Amino acid sequence: MATRERGLRGEGGRGRGLSSERCPGRAGGGACAVGGAAMAGSSEEGLYSRQLYVLGGGARRLAGAAVLVSGLRGTGAQVAAALVLAGTGRVVLHDRGVACTADRGQQFLLGESDVGQNRAEASQRALAELNPRVTVAAHTGELSEAFLASFQVVVLTESPLEEQLHVGDFCHDQGIYFIVADTKGLAGQLFCDFGECFIVNDPAEGDPEHAAVQHISQGNPGVVTCMGTEDNHTHLFCDGDLVTFSGVEGMTELNGQDPIPVRVLDGFRLEIGDTSSFSPYRCGGLVSQVRLPEVHSYEPLRQALEEPKIQVANPEELLRSRSLHAAFRALHAFRKEQGHLPRPRAPADAERVLELAQSLGAQQGPLDEDIVRAFASVSAGDLCPVAAVVGAMAAQEVLKAITGKFLPLDQWLYFDALECLALEGAARVTEKDCAPRGSRYDGQIAVFGAAFQEQLGHQKYLVVGAGAIGCELLKNFAMMGMAAGQGGNLTITDMDTVALSNLHRQLLYRSADISKPKSAVAAAAMRRMNPDVRVTAHQNQVGPATELLYGDDFFQRLDGVASALDTLEARAYLESRCLRCRTPLLDSGTEGPRGNVLVMVPPLTKPLEPAGTARDGTFPLCTLRYFPRTIQHTLQWARDEFEGLFQLPAEHVNRFMEDPTFLEQLPAGKALEVLEQVQSSLRERPRDWRDCVRWARRRWQSRYHDAIAQLLHNFPPEHETSPGVPFWAGDRSCPHPLTFNPENDTHLEYILAAAHLFAQVYKVPPCSDWAAAQTILRSVVLPPFMPQEGLQIPLAEEQEEAKEPADCERLAELTQDLAQQRQELVGGEEAQVPLMEPIHFEKDNDIHVNFITAASNLRAENYGITPADWLTSKRIAGRIVPAIITTTAAVAGLACLEIYKLVWACRDLSCYRNSNLSLSDCLLLRIQPLPPPTYWYGGREWSCWDRLEMQAVGTDGQEMTVQEVLDWLQRTHGWTVTTLLRGHTVLYDREEDEETRAQQRAQRLSENLEDAGQPPQRELELYYVCEGEDAEAEDARPPLLCFLP
């Protein structure tokens, strides 16, 4: 099935069950499913919500799982940390070795005092602090069969081949999911055996697709015409998808049928089975994709070693991966033969590994000998970024085994960054350069040499964002020794504070850090990991408002920038700054199980593409108010209700109480609307909680009964737009009013949430007693609904936006009445405190989400739309991006591999890699960045990185005049300038009269800057137009940078 584009569509967080009888004796992800009903308000939901959006309902199995992680060096530490953060019930660490100084260059769980202690026991103490909900234990004995039998998943790292085979055989026979993850130098391998009958409950990421039905033909086959949505103008179904129908009127035979396959005709039409005998289609309906569980079979390690199934992103990588498969196997043989790994950069050892690989891998086809040699030459090294990538991918496979979400790896995957050895500096490194120094960085020195390590310490980097990716980057930087030497510096800036929902995927934070600045906490955590790192924490946004702090001089002093931002606008701004200052930039991003790393290296690579416009969730007003079709519509309607009830009225009242003249600044129509809102808010002031419940009950009746009844009074179900054309058809579903029932959970949830928020707005003590609320509600008597005659209901956006002229008499009357009421409230004096408390929607506030969920689902019931659970409503209404620790850790590792190349000052484009990662199907695509585009101007070819630079110092030693700049361009490039500008200020225009031109030519470049309110600048960028330019050259000319004295 094709991978879908992700978006805010449909219902998420649902697990699909399948009885264990289909696979007798198998433990794990396929045995049982947990339903998708969310536990609103539980601490687990708040902590793991972003992860639940990735893993769905199966994530709730994690709490009951037991996982063994054997080998607690870099890769094992990454696996274990990810599992603990994800909330795995029991994680047992196994390692019989003791921590050494060199372990601290990749094993981020170890402190200086842990050197000489057992690695598993030392790691257990650190991991236990990560997540108190997880039981973390250490085991230092043998891996006996009795011990292994207690686990659902076993992960081996740093394990000899003989042990891998023995444990793999036992796990396969006992139905225990078995994973091998190993890294050596610049390469890693991953193997999965999930048994002969593993059930994948939900193989794909994101929510199942759905589309509103516009028409269904009677025929064989029948053709379904779908309506586009605001996010996608066409449907997203694929040939062979199974679908069901619901809410179809007329052709009701389709509703509730078993899933049927579709054939895609085009972007709007689907072909289904025989509908010729069905009733004619009338209107409405939803077609929804159904994902059925899949059964997969895996071979044990012993067999898979000889007959490997290797997963690759494209066929060109197969030879490379086969060569690495043979090389890893040969490495085991070399270690058994020699008692140690190949010495770094020792040609004889590398050749011996090649001989062993050729003998062991002969039956699997030819090898790439250069790959095997390169791998062997640095296989004694240990690199934190490689461990991060492989360890994160291995952890995701563990989560697949437990949850049954996503397709597991089938069965081998190889990863390498051996292109790093082609760097000019790296190619000259000798065996002596890589010899151990007794340093924590010996694993890195074994790959790149001691001189490179020293250069790493001198780096000056800016890290923008200390969230999920930022934490992983900073952890890697601490392990690598970035900015840990003389002259080095890391600047971290992030405006946010630590929140509960950060803790399951942001490694550097603990529950005690909640509400503290992220950047400060992250910097302190880095210093604990590596006291030598020189790090400075800021709580600033990098944007136009902070250019005095983060100006050109700041960016030009940097060796690079690492972007870990989560908004498109902020990323685009940072990219523009780095482009202007020619500063290398690493941009990383994730969404659920997908991630990417883009590298921008001046002047080698193409600048990063401008970010697309983010979807803002806006819909036509008439759709939201009268004709919703999807749960997204009802959730946005509920968001608007929240703002209109609990935020805007309070803001307007407070502003009116502080300064009633603010209305004079508004148009008359808007002023009248605000005054009526203020009047209503003051009139509705509750005295106690009972008043708040009564208000919520009246609001319920108004929105879910009366408003719908009025709509049906204007447009009855049988209403026709024109003869024979029903009004309620196509994208208009005919609603029905609801009848309030105090015993109905959704009805009561709405009342309690609305009353609580209403009480908070008016500073009345709230109550959450359901029984008390029901008692109050039973005493509420409301008048029967009476329709308003002549009420106009807009049917299109243009009618919605049309406003009636303001009633000036009504405006004057309201102003006078409210001014008198204001005087009475403040007692003739200005109010000292705001009268009301505006509430801004916060996606991590349970009461807020309770209101949104109930309000939306009641609206959905009005219109026959399938409701959404609490967690799904929170995601869609809060516009939450799904996130999981495994993706962020892998992406950060990939980014740090590019850092190595930047530190070497690599000028070879072929050595750099952009990466695209999909952990849902365990695919990693790394491709060379594109070169920069070029253009012709002034008779020569220019790159987008090129600019003209001049020291703007005149013959008198002072700042140049405009005339001297014109002369310089003529003398240096032979260009006659007709127009010269600084921003929007015209410095020279040949079309002006002689007197004006003379004045322009005589002025200094920075004159009038202060008068224009601009700060003094040492560098000016000028825009020019030259004589004889083609029209095509308008936006294609090198910028002119003038450096002032």
Cα radius of gyration rounded to whole Å, the chain: 33
Tokens 């560098």 belong to which residue? 1019
- In the sheet where 1040-1043 sits, what is the strand order? 948-951, 1040-1043, 1019-1026, 977-982, 985-989
Burial of 260 by CB count in 10 Å (0-12 exposed, 13-18 middle, 19+ buried)? middle
Overall size of the chain counted in residues: 1045
| Angstrom distance (rounded) from CA 400 to CA 78 | 17
- Whether a cis peptide bond, with omega within 30° of 0, leads into 411 is yes
Number of C-alpha atoms within 13 angstroms, CB side, residue 519? Answer: 19
What region, left, alpha or beta, does residue 938 occupy, with left being phi > 0 and alpha being psi -120 to 50 degrees? left
Burial call 826-862: b when 16+ CB within 10 Å, e when fewer: eeeeeeeeebbebbebeeebbbbbbbbbbbbbbbbbb
CA–CA dist 325, 333 (Å, integer): 13
Q: What separation in angstroms does the CA of 117 have from each of 78, 92, 105, 334, 792?
A: 19, 17, 16, 28, 79
Residue type, 476: N
Show the DSSP H helices in 599-667 as ranges: 621-626, 631-642, 648-658
* Cβ(147)–Cβ(66) below 8 Å: no
Burial class (CB in 10 A: 0-12, 13-18, 19+), 499: middle
Q: How is residue 556 annotated by DSSP?
A: H
- Give the neighbor-by-neighbor strand order of the sheet with 263-264: 260-261, 242-246, 286-290, 210-216, 223-227, 269-271, 263-264
Q: Would residue 192 show up in a list of annotated catalytic residues for this protein?
A: no
Residues 6+ apart with CB under 8 A from 501: 46, 47, 49, 50, 844
Indicate left, alpha or beta for 247 from its phi (over 0: left) and psi (-120 to 50: alpha). left
CA count, 13 A, side-chain hemisphere, 987: 27
SS3 (DSSP) at 613:
coil
Q: Which of 32, 100, 238, 622 is catalytic?
A: 622
Contact at 8 Å (CB) between 950 and 1041? yes
Which residue from 809, 710, 693 is spatially nearest to 757, judged by alpha carbons? 693
CA-closest candidate to residue 490, choices 468, 530, 460: 460
Query: Among 660, 749, 754, 656, which Cα is nearest to 702's?
Result: 754
Which amino acid is it at 837?
Answer: E
**For the chain, how far is it from start to end, CA to CA, in angstroms?**
63
* 906-943 CB burial, b ≥16 within 10 A, e <16: beeeebbbbbbbbbbbbbbebeebeebeeeebeeeebb
- Give the helix, strand, coil percentages of the chain, each rounded to 5: 40, 15, 40
Residue with tokens 């850790």: 889
Tell me the two tokens of residue 782. 């409301």
Q: What amino acid positions are annotated as catalytic residues?
A: 622
